[in-house]
Amino acid sequence: MIGIGGIGAFFVVGLLVSLRLLGLWHKTRQLPELTAALGLLGIGPLGFCVLMGGPILVPGTPLAHLFFVTGLALQGLGFLAASVFTWRVFRPGAPWARAFPIAMAAGLAVALVGYAVVPSGGSHWHLHLDIWLKVACLAWGAAESLGYWRVTRRRVALGFADALVSASFLCWGIALSAGALGFLGIYVAVLALPPGEHLGAGVEVALSLCGMVSAAALFLAFLPPKAYARWLATRSPTAEAQS
């Protein structure tokens, strides 16, 4: 229960950002807005809510396993959408980037079959495949966004780019990095736990922290307060020159 605070914050912010992006997509009909919205929905609010619905609503029943597998499927679709977003926004002309979502979709589908048919006490091969593909997706998106932030930061310093847009790339990269660390934390904790044991308090606190960092970064990236935007504007070379 300790980790519920950070995860809850991520759910709420992820849902708000997803709805805003879906509203934007309704106006623009552009693929990046749609894939970013579906990625956040699938990975966060929708996927995890269904994933955890079984243990909460029908614990210890076959229906709980159905909830689990369905939640993983929804989450997988979210990761697929997130990988398409990274490809289309940052590497639209790279063949390897175009192939990444296809390879990830195939790998996650294989892992999902493993979750569905392998008993809970059986081999963990599907867990390894599932987690590492998801971490790779988040890490790739984080690396691309942070790299773009470094480029735009130099342009902001010269007065050729908007400080708020540049900071949004930084915040998006931080949000994805925190998500990748969270999935790695779950992975290590699950492998280290004896069968039937629950996550320790330290692991829950770490996961909660990852959720809070991701939520805060998402909020600043897509729902920036006016005071935050003004603060960034005062730090730009244009504002310094006018003062």
CA angle 162, 164, 170 (to 5 degrees): 110
Condensed to tens digits (0 to 9), the pLDDT of residues 103-137 reads: 999 999 999 999 888 766 556 888 899 999 999 99
Q: Are 20 and 70 in contact (CB under 8 A)?
A: no
For residue 194, the SS3 value is coil
Residue with the bigger pLDDT between 87 and 67: it is 87
181's tokens:
């660390």
Condensed to tens digits (0 to 9), the pLDDT of residues 203-212 reads: 788 888 999 9
The length of the chain, given as a count of residues: 243
**Please, what is the average pLDDT of the chain?**
87
Based on C-alpha coordinates, what's the Rg of the chain?
A: 19
pLDDT of residue 57 exceeding 70, the answer is: yes
Spatial CB neighbours of 131, under 8 Å, sequence gap ≥ 6: 183, 184, 186, 187
62's tokens:
């076959």
Range of lowest pLDDT (14-18, 52-56, 143-147): 52-56
Condensed to tens digits (0 to 9), the pLDDT of residues 150-205 reads: 999 988 887 888 999 999 999 999 999 999 999 998 888 878 776 666 667 777 88
Q: How far is it, in rounded angstroms, from Cα 158 to Cα 183?
A: 38
Q: Where are the beta strands (DSSP E) in 21-129?
A: none
One-letter amino acid for residue 42 of the chain:
G
Helix axes 201-222, 4-28, angle to 10 degrees: 30
- Count other Cβ atoms within 10 Å, centred on residue 113: 12
Q: Are 179 and 210 in contact (CB under 8 A)?
A: yes
- Helices and strands counted in the chain (H then E): 10, 0
Q: How far is it, in rounded angstroms, from Cα 123 to Cα 115?
A: 10
Question: What pLDDT does residue 44 have?
Answer: 85
In 3D space, the residue among 215, 190, 242 whose CA is nearest the CA of residue 43 turns out to be 215
